[in-house]
Amino acid sequence: MGTSVDAPAVVAEEVTDNMLGGKKVTVVFVLGGPGSGKGTQCTNIVEHFGFTHLSAGDLLRAEIKSGSENGTMIETMIKEGKIVPSEVTIKLLQEAMIKSENDKFLIDGFPRNEENRSAFENVTKISPAFVLFFDCTEEEMEKRLLGRNQGRVDDNIETIRKRFKVFVESSLPVIEYYSSKDKVKKIDAAKPIPEVFEDVTAIFAPYAPKV
């Protein structure tokens, strides 16, 4: 997996045969471990490159809060400790993309694993333009998380290591899958935030809104 922060040669993924009623979209998956700084950079990308940020967790919470029939169903499942089927969450992502006036989406923290990826592609028939991967060593992430959460008991070293392990085990197969299709743009996320943003800018420049 080579570091590739070069601007992509091809800009928009031509997707006509998707499940968004033919709406053409550019989808970027954003992956990175806890403390990799991907949240900060997502905010930057939304602000500077006109993407709409989507998070599966936020959409689930919004659906529950809306009190819709589906929302109530989701709430009940979570309360009963059942796993919300991937299809449900993916349908929410799909709906959000159809409803949005935008056609450029950052899907944050998704797909978490190979099952998520395959379900997304099966349901939406969309493949991402690329995957933005915030690569950071475990030592660096630990340092950041411990610094950020001083005094918080739930973020002790054990919890952090466990989250990191889960991230690596479930997400690496997804990264490898897209790497084999030459779709991973890896960023050295251990660098200071402004430098990381420079790399992000190089990648997203072709997507900047035309003035």
What lies within 8 Å, CB to CB, of 43 at 6+ separation is: 53
Supply the angle between the helices 69-79 and 56-66 in degrees, to the nearest 10: 110
Nearest to 205 by CA among 9, 14, 52: 9
- Rounded distance between C-alpha atoms, residue 28 and residue 25, angstroms: 10
- Rounded distance between C-alpha atoms, residue 150 and residue 142, angstroms: 12
Residue 100 counted as an annotated binding residue: no
Interaction of residue 169 with ligand NAG, rule CB under 6 A = no
Residue 122 counted as an annotated binding residue: no
Residue 144 counted as an annotated binding residue: no
Stretch that binds ligand NAG, among 12-20, 80-88, 143-151, 185-193 (CB under 6 A): 80-88
- Rounded distance between C-alpha atoms, residue 165 and residue 9, angstroms: 34
One residue of 116, 124, 136, 185 binding ligand NAG per CB under 6 A: 116
| Nearer residue to ligand NAG within complex by CB, 88 or 202 | 88
Residue 68 counted as an annotated binding residue: no
Site residues for ligand NAG per CB under 6 A: 56, 68-70, 83-84, 86, 88-91, 112-113, 115-116, 118-119, 122
Q: Which residues are annotated as a binding site for a ribonucleoside 5'-phosphate?
A: 61, 82-84, 109-112, 152, 163
